[in-house]
C-alpha cells in the first residue's frame, strides 16, 4: 500500500498501553489536510467555455497547478465533476475526456493513463463522475515548470436543452466524492443555444477598409428567433465562416 493510500485511510494513530491497571491512549498528531494537499496540486481551473449547441459535444479543458518537483508517492491525481444546475427538463450527464491533455510522467511519456468513470458507474457507485490520472509504475506526474498550468483533460456533456449548465470540477484528494474544505475546485457556466436560423450582416465602417482586394468591415450575427445562437464544432467552425466572407466581397 502506498504512502498516499495510507494517508487517505488513516488520519489518527492511536497507541494503546496498559499501565497501573488501566488503559491509556496516546494520539499521535497527523499531517494537516492542507499539508497533504500541497503534495498534489494547488489549483483547478475550468477554461472559459465557448457557446455550445444542442446535441453537440460541449467540452472545456481543465488546468491544474502542481508543485515544483513531483506530485505524490504513487503519482495519481483524482478529479470529479458534477452539475450544480441544469435547464429545466434536461437529462444531460456531465463527464470527463482526455481531450487536450498535456500532462506527462517523469519518463517523458506524452500522456498518462486515464481511468474515467461516469457517475454511479461500476466501481464508482453513488459517486460523481471521476477521472484518475496515473503515470507509469514507479513514476510521478512531471512538472513542466514551477507553478505552471498543465491540462489534465476536459470536462463536458452533450446538451439536450437550451439554457445554462453550471459545472463544478474538483480535486477529490480523499476519494469521498464530496468537495472538502481544503480541496481545490472550479465552477463555470456552459451556455447552450439553438441552431442558427438567421444570419444578419451589418456593415461596421462606411467605406472599404483599403484599396485593392480588401472589402468592408462587417459584423455577422447568428440568431434563432432573435436569441443569439452559437456555432457547433466541425463544419460550423470559424474557418468555415471564411467562405461566407468570400461570398460577401
Specify the number of domains making up the chain. Answer: 3
Q: Percentages helix, strand, coil for the chain, rounded to the nearest 5?
A: 10, 40, 50
50 & 165 share domain:
yes
pLDDT, tens only, 24-57: 333 333 333 433 344 577 889 999 998 888 899 9
8 & 50 share domain:
no
11 & 50 share domain:
no
When pLDDT is averaged across residues 112-129 and rounded to a whole number, the result is 95
100 & 148 share domain:
yes
- In this model, does residue 237 exceed pLDDT 80? no
When pLDDT is averaged across residues 233-239 and rounded to a whole number, the result is 53
- In this model, does residue 18 exceed pLDDT 60? no
CATH number of the domain residue 156 falls in: 2.60.40.10
213 & 241 share domain:
yes
47 & 124 share domain:
yes
182 & 231 share domain:
no
pLDDT, tens only, 206-222: 665 555 555 667 777 77
When pLDDT is averaged across residues 165-177 and rounded to a whole number, the result is 95
Structural domain that includes position 208: 198-248
22 & 45 share domain:
no
118 & 155 share domain:
yes
27 & 43 share domain:
no
41 & 124 share domain:
yes
> DSSP strand E in the chain: where?
13-19, 22-28, 43-46, 52-53, 58-65, 77-85, 95-97, 113-117, 129-134, 149-157, 163-171, 185-193, 198-203, 218-224, 227-228
pLDDT of residue 146: 61
Amino acid at each position: 500500500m502506498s504512502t498516499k493510500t495510507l494517508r487517505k485511510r488513516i488520519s489518527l494513530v492511536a497507541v494503546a498501553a496498559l499501565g497501573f491497571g488501566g488503559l491509556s491512549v496516546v494520539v499521535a498528531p497527523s499531517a494537516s489536510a492542507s499539508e497533504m494537499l500541497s503534495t498534489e496540486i494547488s489549483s483547478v481551473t475550468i477554461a472559459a467555455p465557448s457557446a455550445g449547441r444542442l446535441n453537440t459535444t460541449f467540452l472545456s479543458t481543465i488546468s491544474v497547478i502542481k508543485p515544483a518537483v513531483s506530485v505524490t508517492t504513487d503519482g495519481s491525481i483524482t478529479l470529479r465533476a458534477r452539475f450544480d444546475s441544469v435547464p429545466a427538463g434536461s437529462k444531460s450527464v456531465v463527464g470527463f475526456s482526455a481531450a487536450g491533455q498535456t500532462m506527462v510522467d517523469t519518463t517523458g511519456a506524452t500522456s498518462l493513463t486515464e481511468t474515467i468513470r461516469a457517475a454511479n458507474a461500476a466501481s464508482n457507485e453513488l459517486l460523481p463522475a471521476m477521472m484518475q490520472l496515473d503515470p507509469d509504475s514507479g513514476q510521478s506526474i512531471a512538472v513542466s515548470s514551477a507553478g505552471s498550468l498543465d491540462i489534465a483533460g476536459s470536462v463536458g456533456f452533450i446538451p439536450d436543452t437550451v439554457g445554462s449548465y453550471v459545472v463544478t470540477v474538483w480535486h477529490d484528494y480523499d476519494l469521498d466524492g464530496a468537495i472538502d474544505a481544503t480541496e481545490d475546485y472550479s465552477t463555470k457556466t456552459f451556455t447552450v443555444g439553438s441552431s442558427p436560423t438567421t444570419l444578419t450582416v451589418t456593415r461596421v465602417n462606411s467605406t472599404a477598409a483599403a484599396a485593392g482586394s480588401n472589402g468592408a468591415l462587417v459584423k455577422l450575427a447568428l440568431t434563432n428567433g432573435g436569441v443569439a445562437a452559437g456555432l457547433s464544432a466541425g463544419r460550423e467552425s470559424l474557418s468555415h465562416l471564411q467562405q461566407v466572407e468570400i461570398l460577401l466581397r
